[in-house]
Amino acid sequence: MSKVTRIISVSMMLTVLSAIILVGCGNRHSDKTGFNKSDIAETISQTSESEKGSQMDSLSEDNTDTETTDAEITDTEAEDSGQTASEEDSQEETSNPYIAAREPYTRVPVYEDMEHIYMNTTWEYADHSAISDGYAVLYKAAGERKNIIVGVNAGHGTAGGSSVRTLCHPDGSPKSTGGSTAAGATTATAVSGGMTFYDGTSESEVTFRMAQILRDRLLSQGYDVLMVRDDADVQLDNVARTVICNNVADCHISLHWDGDGLSYDKGCFYIAVPDAIKDMEPVATHWQQHNVLGASLVNGLGDVGMKIHGSGSMAIDLTQTSYSTIPSVDMELGNASSDHSDETLENIADGLMAGINAYYGY
């Protein structure tokens, strides 16, 4: 009961008591007061009606206050709920180990210079990888940036990669051509160890040195570089390397020397997409981009005097291009007989740069 209601009730009781006293007095002194029972009843009735009205007004005020308070609580709860949801979203985004920041409007991830890029398990084909604990490193050009990220993948260099296998194709279909894995196989070595040059140098060492030289050349010309392998070893298999490039880079160039066993330098070429898998996704959507990028790189190498093998391409069914959703190519820059001195690698970098610039219209 509210304070107003209690006051009104006490008042009513006093009024009734006064009326009873007046009745008694009226019986003894009716000639003086002129106040009878009907007057008292009417007075009490009027008092009761007035009291009821006051109580109704009081209840109405109480209800209004209660409704207002409830509405305020509801609004407060809604604000708190919205704030909590916003805070949870913010905390979730901040705690996501794969995303450091996003563009404010496009929500596209923003990567910092020298940022370590790990595999995001939500990316397409990420679940096909068997080795994905490592990270790539993003280098940003210092000035006159082209806002193009070139994925540079130094072939091989994953300890334990030869003992693990992954699907050759995302859909599990068999490989259409031979290579390091035989035609008809549905799984391939996750990352092979690579060949050894006739002077005893490992292919993985040379591909890494080539990647470093190409990285520096790209940065000097305004390209950002995603170094897929930024050390002697990276725990990323061929699927993981491709998936990271798919989601961070604008193109993917892997660097290799062919392990053909020949005793002479047969020259450079790119691995083209074979006809047998051109109807398989994601190859069907992207194979032309792969081949155009490869042809541009070979043309650039030829322009700087590098020996080109045959027509400049060889069609092989690779894990890399079977999973690529951006322009992607495996470049074979010679074989075990090829010179791999820094002077030659610098010349190769010049040729690759010429091909990259031509591909992007620079």
State the residue range of the domain holding 17: 3-93
pLDDT tens readout for residues 63-91: 444 444 444 444 544 445 444 444 444 44
- Residue 96 pLDDT grade (very low, low, confident, very high; cuts 50, 70, 90): low
| Whether residue 172 is found in the same domain as residue 279 | yes
Residue 332: the pLDDT is 98
Q: Is 100 among the domain residues?
A: no
Q: For the chain, give the mean pLDDT.
A: 82
Give the residue, 39 or 138, on which the prediction is more confident.
Answer: 138
Question: Residue 141 sits in a domain of what CATH number?
Answer: 3.40.630.40
| Whether residue 242 is found in the same domain as residue 278 | yes
pLDDT tens readout for residues 251-265: 999 999 999 999 999
Q: Give the SS3 label for residue 255.
A: strand
Q: Is the pLDDT of residue 33 over 60?
A: no
Residue 137 to residue 146: CA distance in whole angstroms: 18
Q: Is 294 among the domain residues?
A: yes
Q: Is the pLDDT of residue 315 over 80?
A: yes
Q: Is the pLDDT of residue 169 over 50?
A: yes
Say which residues have a Cβ less than 8 Å from residue 85's Cβ, sequence separation at least 6: none
| Whether residue 40 is found in the same domain as residue 128 | no
Percent of the chain with pLDDT over 70: 70
| Whether residue 168 is found in the same domain as residue 36 | no
Residue 290: the pLDDT is 98
> How far does Cα 72 stand from its chain's mean position?
39
Q: Is 109 among the domain residues?
A: no
The number of domains in the chain is 2
Q: Which of 290, 312, 292 is nearest to 245 (CA)?
A: 290
Q: What is the pTM of this model?
A: 0.73
> CA triplet 125, 359, 213: central angle to 5 degrees?
80
Q: Give the SS3 label for residue 335.
A: strand
Q: Which residue do the tokens 């008591």 mark?
A: 17
Q: Are 118 and 181 in contact (CB under 8 A)?
A: no
Residue 346: the pLDDT is 98
Strand order from edge to edge, sheet including 328-335: 115-118, 135-139, 224-227, 149-154, 251-258, 328-335, 268-272, 308-315
